[in-house]
Structure 1
Amino acid sequence: MPVLTALDGTPLAYHVVGKGEPLLCLPGGPMRASAYLGDLGGMAAHRQVIRLDLRGTGDSGVPADPATYRCDRQVDDVETLRAHLGLDRVDVLAHSAAGDLALLHAARHPDRIRSLTLVTARARALGIDFTEEHRRAAAALRSAAPWFPAAYRSYEAVWAGTATDADWDAIAPFFYGRWDAAAQRHAAQEVPQTNEEAGERYAAAGAFDPAATRAALAALDAPVLLLVGALDGGPLPRVAEEVAALLPGAALAVQPDAGHYPWLDDPERFTGTVAAFLRTAQVPA
């Protein structure tokens, strides 16, 4: 397992699988170990998948200053890894909460981005977030599922701020296109793979300056793909359209019957979509 040293001395681990052009992958959570990404549904057959364990997660070290868990303060970690890999420009894929990290990195280092793939990604960095209304709209799409009544009651507790650990466990099916054995195994790993303290600090006050980030990314000269699940509430496809409108030339792909982890719901469709996009991004550095 390769390790590099962050600017503040924190050891950062990353994991490499597959061969070919590197694809730098940033995990969400926020602050969940990158193991949950796996090889992104077989993406390693197309690209060399490089997964960064963010500081304090997975095999990476715990920083001396917990304030460095804040999203904007981790931009340097991404840039340090790019430089460590010897890549002049890099293809970046970010999932969920890591969408904010990837957007901030692209805003600060636009000349280092060859392409940006945002998978069911947040965009608080641009001033767009998921809301309870969005979650309710997506949840309503699952009303015919046998697990829906109990899971929805737990969702109501989450929205009311009275959720127990059992309620948080019960809403997991809403995040998957199919609540099968593979999805259940994947969901069971979320808590042990997540640094909750770090997650609470990730979007702390001061992490985002949407106006400045929008202005910086308005001139981004790199192709962008937003891939979202048709059944996901974070973001809903219509919200992803709002995000795409803020990024020059961004393309939107909505994967049918997919939730928040589309590479699990339909690996072949997911990898086909991402691989096709990345082929179009193969421009001279």
Structure 2
Amino acid sequence: MATYSAFSATDGTRLSYRVIGAGEPVLCIPGGPADSGYLGDLGGLSAHRRLIVLDLRGTGRSAVPQDVSTYRCDRLVDDVEALRVHLDLPRVDLLGHSAGTNTATQYAARYPERVSKLVLIGPSPRAVGLAVTAEMRRAVAQLRKGEPWFPAAFDALQAIAAGTGEDWEAVAPFFWGRWDAAARQHHAASRPSNSEAVARFAAEGAFTPEATRAALASCVAPVLLLTGEFDVNSPPAVAAEFATVFRHATLVVQPAAGHYPWLDDPDQFVAATTAFLGGHSHT
């Protein structure tokens, strides 16, 4: 069962976080920006580690900031650092998902001495200037051509890639290893609700790839990049390229998983993350 707490960011915005599980803490940064509830307990990872899950400003139980420019990705790094200070942790194991991996990566670049281990789930490589190409997405999508929903979803994906369409609902099945009732429910629950936070996340100045890459040279923390075999958002090819940016990186491609690997196969996901992070069961 999760417990909720709050703290003040450096600009005075009241931010919320939830704690679930026991053991050594892992600070978790959701993607979106969306309500962190979609992360759940990361497939049961909370049986092995204490998950401290931040509600990004303007999402979940966290307050909307007075200055909306603070929704920018690099500015969110300040909130992660404020949470670390609030928790009185000299160093942190840091986990990010999707867009949140950009914040986690920039945190590691800015505070390399504060990071013990870094876990990037469904990693987005924008912070280091790598692009996910239409060809990469197409190759991953083709792995699903036996699915009944494939023709319509693939047509929509092609249109998005060509700039002639934006039917994101139609391509949703590509983000899960199985497009079943659980995936549909999760999809509905994980939609971002704060359009301003989404719009400003990648505003001009949010990413400084050359500086981030240079700073990461000082980060000696081991890094796990875990993506799904079927993840059109974070294809294995770009995750492998992303891994080369770090000094000590491990790449795991979870079979038959999409962008939410802890939902597609919790056992495989937890086995991979605990093998990297360490931890033991408290159940």
1:76 maps to which of 78, 93, 103:
78
Other-structure match for 1:85:
87
Residue identity opposite 1:168 in structure 2: W
Are 2:135 and 1:136 equivalent residues in the alignment? no
Structure 1 unaligned residues grouped into runs of 5+:
281-285
| Per-residue CA distance 1:137-189 (angstroms, 9 max, x = gap) | 2111111100101212222332344546xx32121100000111111100112
Q: Measure how far apart 1:249 and its partner are.
A: 1.2
Matches of residues 194-205 of structure 1 in structure 2 within 5 Å? Answer: 194-205=193-204
Q: Measure how far apart 1:235 and its partner are.
A: 2.0
Q: How many residues get paired?
A: 276
CA distance in 1, matches of 2:198, 2:245: 26
Residue identity opposite 2:214 in structure 1: A
Are 2:185 and 1:182 equivalent residues in the alignment? no
CA distance in 2, matches of 1:177, 1:200: 28
Are 2:242 and 1:243 equivalent residues in the alignment? yes
Other-structure match for 2:63:
61
Q: Measure how far apart 1:190 and its partner are.
A: 2.8
CA distance in 1, matches of 2:194, 2:133: 23
Q: Measure how far apart 1:21 and its partner are.
A: 0.5
Instruction: Please give the TM-score of this superposition, normalised by the length of structure 1.
Output: 0.94
Q: 2:74 touches 2:103 (CA, 8 Å); kept in 1?
A: yes
CA distance in 1, matches of 2:193, 2:251: 29
Give % identity. Answer: 57
CA distance in 2, matches of 1:160, 1:239: 20
Q: For 1:72, what is the secondary structure of its paired residue?
A: helix
Q: For 1:252, what is the secondary structure of its paired residue?
A: strand
Between 226-235 and 75-84, report the one with greater CA deviation. Answer: 226-235
Deviating above 4 A after TM superposition, structure 1's stretches of 4 or more consecutive aligned residues are none
Q: 1:20 touches 1:47 (CA, 8 Å); kept in 2?
A: yes
Other-structure match for 1:253:
252
CA distance in 2, matches of 1:256, 1:156: 24
Q: Measure how far apart 1:208 and its partner are.
A: 1.1
Q: 2:105 touches 2:127 (CA, 8 Å); kept in 1?
A: yes
Structure 2 unaligned residues grouped into runs of 5+:
none
| Per-residue CA distance 1:216-248 (angstroms, 9 max, x = gap) | 101211110000111112322121111111100
Residue identity opposite 2:67 in structure 1: D
Q: For 1:253, what is the secondary structure of its paired residue?
A: strand
Other-structure match for 1:47:
49
Q: Measure how far apart 1:57 and its partner are.
A: 0.6
Q: Measure how far apart 1:70 and its partner are.
A: 0.5
Q: 1:3 touches 1:13 (CA, 8 Å); kept in 2?
A: yes
CA distance in 1, matches of 2:197, 2:159: 24
Other-structure match for 1:19:
22
1:116 maps to which of 115, 118, 131:
118
Q: Measure how far apart 1:195 and its partner are.
A: 1.6
Other-structure match for 2:218:
219
Q: Measure how far apart 1:41 and its partner are.
A: 0.3
CA distance in 2, matches of 1:249, 1:181: 38
Other-structure match for 2:205:
206
Q: For 1:115, what is the secondary structure of its paired residue?
A: strand
CA distance in 1, matches of 2:55, 2:156: 31
Between 12-21 and 149-158, report the one with greater CA deviation. Answer: 149-158
Residue identity opposite 2:184 in structure 1: Q
Q: Measure how far apart 1:200 and its partner are.
A: 1.2
Residue identity opposite 1:37 in structure 2: L
Other-structure match for 1:96:
98
Residue identity opposite 1:169 in structure 2: E
Residue identity opposite 2:186 in structure 1: H
Other-structure match for 2:277:
278
CA distance in 2, matches of 1:22, 1:181: 32
Q: For 1:20, what is the secondary structure of its paired residue?
A: coil
Residue identity opposite 1:11 in structure 2: R
Residue identity opposite 2:193 in structure 1: T
CA distance in 2, matches of 1:135, 1:262: 17
For the aligned residue pairs, the C-alpha RMSD in angstroms reads 1.3
